[in-house]
Amino acid sequence: MELNSSNIKVAIIGGGLAGLAAASELSSHGIKATVFETAPQLGGRARSVHWKGLILDNGQHILLGAYHQTLRLMKKIGLNAEESLLRQSLNLNMLHAIHLKSYKSLPAPFNLLMGLLTCKGLNWSERYLAIRFLIQLKRINFKLDQDIPLNELLKRFKQPSYLIRHLWEPLCLAALNTPINAASSQIYSNVLKDSFNQKKTDSDLLLPRNDLSNLLAEPLADFIRAHQGEIKLNSHVKQLEKVNHDFTVNGSNFTHVILAVAPFRLAEMIEPLGEMVATDLVTKFTYEPIYTVYLQYPHDVKLPQVMIGLTKTMSQWVFDRGQLNGQKGLIAVIISAKGEHQKLTHEALANEVIAELKTAFPNLPSPKWHKVIAEKRATFACTANLKRPQQKTTIQNLYLAGDYTEGNYPATIEGAIQSGLSAAQLILQS
């Protein structure tokens, strides 16, 4: 049943993608939504920073063709995804190890199965075992009887160590940002199902051509404002109270509240209400970092591909920002999850990455400068059997939004947007 929009005022605390997705959905239905964001900019963990006259992202995000809610939302707010994102058929190049390319002429899942059958760097036994693994998952509809750490699942399905090291583990780090010995097999299987078992375009890689702020956050904010919503930056919510059936947020009254804050901020937000909603779950969360090392080379430097994987190095994924968005000579190197790199100073880490790239690409000159961006709590650790809080809380008209809430996805842009849209729908359907 549709609500009488004139009587509804929703406060959304948190201006990340989950909060903005919720606000855009509510605003499009004529419901007054106000976003409170503590920071001077929107986007949360998908934001941009300025450095040496360039716009850098706090992490190099990868989207997939299977991110249907993200793509639908982009279309809804008037964005052309084909202009904003570089779409490529799956082309997984783990340098000097394996090179997997999907066959875009074939329907899913045969496009990937044929890719595995012809995958460079794997012997026939490894190709067969990789294909058998996917077929066995498909037979059970990618639904496991019990969630276990991913390395245990791969051993159970007799995946050889070389295949794990150069295929399944890099995909795990890219998708779940969680070490393979702890990562949820079920969430990993969900990602495999959506990416490789539906439409052939679902396995496409979608790489942002724009900086993250201009890719989603600012267009969403413009849409919200155009539909009578409000965005309040530099607005730390100091007081959240419930009076009868309504809420007071920084002195203003609202009928509903969506908490779209990081899970480690949940307790301080909930405490004034006298009921510790979901905190028993989120206090058990652990977190994983993402380090991004930017290296500015001369403008004529160009990598063989936009995105290349490395193995046996601290560096995991290397992106050529010149080919992506015209930042010529700028290389972004991603290091996901916990590791030895955290023990290094930023200067030492940058030097280690520079040396690794020089080994991988011998013709690279010395970079002109480097910049390390460390998101130490970039995502929650998506571990096996992790209990995640529901979006509808025990407090009437109070909802949670964020990629950490109950769902089938890890901490990704798609997971955040799915959560935000779902929280909005709970209000619309109440």
**Residue 222 covered by a domain:** yes
**pLDDT score at 4:** 63
| pLDDT tier, 2 (very low <50, low <70, confident <90, very high otherwise) | very low
**Domain end: 182, 203, 224, which one?**
203
- Mean per-residue pLDDT for 113-123? 96
Same domain, 245 and 299: no
Taking the C-alpha atoms of residue 427 and residue 430, their distance in angstroms, rounded to an integer, is 5
State residue 373 phi and psi, 5-degree precision: -115, 120
Amino acid at 415: G
| Per-residue pLDDT reduced to its tens digit, 303-357 | 999 999 999 999 999 999 999 999 999 999 999 999 999 999 999 999 999 999 9
pLDDT at 420: 98
How sure is the predictor about 280, in pLDDT bands with cuts at 50, 70 and 90? Answer: confident
SS3 content of the chain, % helix, strand, coil (to 5): 35, 25, 40
Q: Give yes or no: residues 249 and 311 share one domain.
A: no
CATH number of residue 98's parent domain: 1.10.3110
Residue type, 128: Y
Query: For the domain that residue 406 is a member of, what is the CATH number?
Result: 3.50.50.60
Give the Å distances, CA to CA, from 191 to 88, 172, 317, 332. 18, 10, 19, 24
Residue 204: what pLDDT?
94
Say which CATH number the domain at 338 has.
3.90.660.10
pLDDT at residue 166 tops 50: yes
Q: Are residues 101 and 199 in the same domain?
A: yes
193 shares a domain with 110: yes
Please name which of 403, 390, 389, 391 lies closest in space to residue 427, comparing C-alpha atoms: 391
Read off the pLDDT of residues 178-205 as tens digits, 9 standing for 90 and up. Answer: 999 999 999 999 999 999 888 899 999 9
Average pLDDT over residues 277-283: 85
pLDDT band at 286 (very low <50, low <70, confident <90, very high): very high
Q: What is the domain count for the chain?
A: 3
Question: What would the two tokens of residue 112 be?
Answer: 């990937």
Distant-in-sequence, close-in-space partners of 140: CB < 8 Å, separation ≥ 6 = none
Residue with tokens 């790199």: 341
> Which of 164, 85, 175 lies closest to 379, judged by CA?
175
Give me the domain span that covers residue 294: 287-380
| Confidence label for 278 from pLDDT (cuts 50, 70 and 90) | confident
User: 397 and 376, same structural domain?
Assistant: no
Q: Do 247 and 318 sit in the same domain of this protein?
A: no
Q: Nearest Cα to 16, choosing from 430, 390, 420?
A: 420
**pLDDT value of residue 269:** 87
* Residue 263 structure tokens: 């899970």
Boundary-marking domain end, from 178, 203, 228: 203
Contacts of 188 (CB under 8 A, 6+ apart): 150, 153, 171, 172, 175, 176
Q: Are residues 273 and 388 in the same domain?
A: yes
Residue 311 belongs to some domain of the structure: yes
The token pair that represents 266 in the structure block: 């949940």
Tell me the C-alpha distance between 141 and 159, whole Å. Answer: 19
Q: Is the pLDDT of residue 122 over 90?
A: yes
Torsion over CA: 69, 70, 72, 73 (sign):
positive
1 has a pLDDT exceeding 90: no
Concatenated DSSP letters of 354-416: HHHHHHHSTT----SEEEEEEEEEEEE--BTT-----SB-SSTTEEE-STTSSSSS-SSHHHH
Sheet holding 287-296, edge to edge: 98-101, 91-94, 307-309, 317-320, 330-336, 287-296, 369-380
Residue 198: what pLDDT? 82
> Could you tell me the strand order of the sheet in which 63-64 lies?
63-64, 205-208, 85-88
Q: Max CA-CA distance within the chain?
A: 68
In this structure, the answer to whether residues 100 and 183 fall within a common structural domain is: yes
Q: pLDDT tens-digit profile of 402-429?
A: 999 999 999 999 999 999 999 999 999 9
Mean of pLDDT over the chain: 94
Which uninterrupted H or E stretch holds 336? strand 330-336
Q: Which amino acid is located at 16 in the chain?
A: G
Same domain for 140 and 274, yes or no, is: no
Predicted confidence band of residue 270 (pLDDT cuts 50, 70, 90):
confident
What torsion, rounded to 10 degrees, do the Cα atoms 206, 231, 420, 16 define?
Answer: 50
Is 83 within a domain? no
The total of other beta-carbon atoms located within 10 Å of residue 242's CB is 17
pLDDT tens for 59-90 read 888 999 999 999 999 999 999 999 999 999 99
Give the confidence band of 3 by pLDDT, cuts at 50, 70, 90. Answer: low
